[in-house]
Amino acid sequence: MAVGICNIDQNRSEESLLSLVIPVYQEGSHIKSSIDVIEKVLKDHHIKHQFVLIDDGSKDNSWEEIKQLANDKANVTSLRLSRNFGKESALCAGLDYADGDMVIVMDADLQHPPEIIPEMVRVWREEGFDVIEGIKSSRGKENPIYKWCAKFFYYIIYKTSDINLGKASDFKLLDRKVIEAWKDMPERAIFFRGMTAWLGFDRKQINFDVAERVNGKTKWSLFRLIRLALNAITSYTSVPLHCITVLGIIMFIGAVLMGLQTLYMKFVGGATSGFTTVILLQLIIGSSIMISLGMIGIYLTKIYKEVKARPRYLVAKCVKSKEGQAFDKSE
Ligand code: UDP
Ligand code: MG
């Protein structure tokens, strides 16, 4: 439980610090220019800010680039995770290192338009909302199969856990007290979008059009997406496990009816070879048992991972710029 959250008194003013948490994976070719674009918007609107850049174990020159940024600029914290932990864990690391009164989480490829940051900050400051969510009014250029799968995935989450993530994105502004509440969630398997939805607080949505990636390509392969979807569904709901029970009951009723019919046929002497029925029954029962076991296996793996309680991420290096004078804690 988050003790003392109500004591966090906020003074939302022009002086409030905004932390920008940006996960970076294989974005070396354009991370510098992306940061410049974002910084220009912030400077133009006189928003006091700090960048927290997390290199999620990239194999390209991303780390060198963000390390350089920490050396060159006065307000950058650059982290390098010990390996590729995935975007969700990188975000966790960033939120832990952010000092701001509010935090904006965004992608490194400018698909989340920086132009709406000032509006998000204004809403936070003047209207008092704690979570300002970027809502995709269009999903940008996407493969139709991917689009359809995403729709189906959100539909399942909505139906099983009542959390509507249809147009949600990871582009969000979170107030300091929301971050503190987030840090109190101890689970290892993280799905940022779903977990922030679960947190609640006063929320406002702002629409944006997903821009095209500036450079490089998306890191979400079909396999990664399926893993994320399974992770999200099993993190949020135990409905699939209940489905198994319902399925079991339906199968049982079917089996009793089938049994009665078979006995009746036997007694009236009209029993046919029945081979098809046996094969069909075997297939149906066999496959439902397999699916059920698999589903239980997924939940078991989750419990196993949570019980191990390993850290969500490991920071290998950290470079912070301080008042124009850079220092390197690790090298
Ligand atoms: N990302 C990350 N670790 C990963 C994959 C992605 O930190 O393992 C970052 C990536 O650098 C980017 C953000 O997550 O800042 C979104 O990734 P991407 O643009 O590939 O996703 P998409 O926009 O296609 O959903
Ligand atoms: Mg992207």
SS3 for the chain, per residue? CCCCHHHCCCCCCCCCCEEEEEEECCCCCCHHHHHHHHHHHHHHCCCCEEEEEEECCCCCCHHHHHHHHHHHCCCEEEEEECCCCCHHHHHHHHHHHCCCCEEEECCCCCCCCHHHHHHHHHHHHHHCCCEEEEEEEECCCCCHHHHHHHHHHHHHHHHHHCCCCCCEEEEEEEEHHHHHHHHCCCCCCCCHHHHHHHHCCCEEEEEEECCCCCCCCCCCCHHHHHHHHHHHHHHHCCHHHHHHHHHHHHHHHHHHHHHHHHHHHHHCCCCCCCHHHHHHHHHHHHHHHHHHHHHHHHHHHHHHHHHHCCCCCCEEEEEEEECCEEEECCC
Among protein residues, the one whose CA lies closest to atom 13 of ligand 1: 107
Q: What is the pLDDT of residue 98?
A: 93
200 C-alpha to ligand 2 centroid (Å): 26
Residue 86 CA, closest ligand 1 atom number:
8
Residue 164 has a pLDDT of: 65
Instruction: Decide the pairing of beta strands 18-24 and 168-175.
Output: unpaired
Of all residues in the chain, the percent with pLDDT exceeding 70 is: 87
**pLDDT confidence bin for 231, thresholds 50/70/90:** confident
Residue 121 CA to ligand 2 center (angstroms) comes to 22
Least confident range of 48-57, 117-126, 176-185, 265-274? 265-274
Residue 187 CB: number of other CB atoms within 10 A? 13
Where is mean pLDDT largest: 112-126, 182-196, 315-329?
112-126
pLDDT band at 105 (very low <50, low <70, confident <90, very high): very high
* Contact indicator for 37, 110 with CB cutoff of 8 Å: yes
Q: How far apart are CA 46 and CA 125, in angstroms?
A: 14
Q: Kindly identify the ligand whose nearest atom is closest to the C-alpha of 313.
A: 1
* pTM over the 0.75 mark: no
Atom of ligand 1 nearest to the CA of 24: 11
Residue-wise pLDDT for 25-72, tens only, equals 999 899 999 999 999 999 999 999 999 999 999 999 999 999 999 988
Residue 229 or residue 113, greater confidence: 113
List residues near ligand 1 (CB under 6 A).
Answer: 23-25, 27, 56, 84, 86-87, 90, 107-109, 111, 218-220
Give 251-267 pLDDT, tens digit per residue: 878 877 877 887 787 77
CA angle 49, 201, 79 (to 5 degrees): 35
Q: What's the whole-number average pLDDT of the chain? A: 82
Distance 203 CA to ligand 1 centre (A): 24
Q: Ligand 1 centre and the CA of 75: distance in Å? A: 23
Report the relative pairing of strands 315-322 and 168-175 from DSSP bridges: unpaired
Q: Which residues make Cβ contacts (< 8 Å) with residue 164, sequence separation at least 6? A: 154, 158, 197
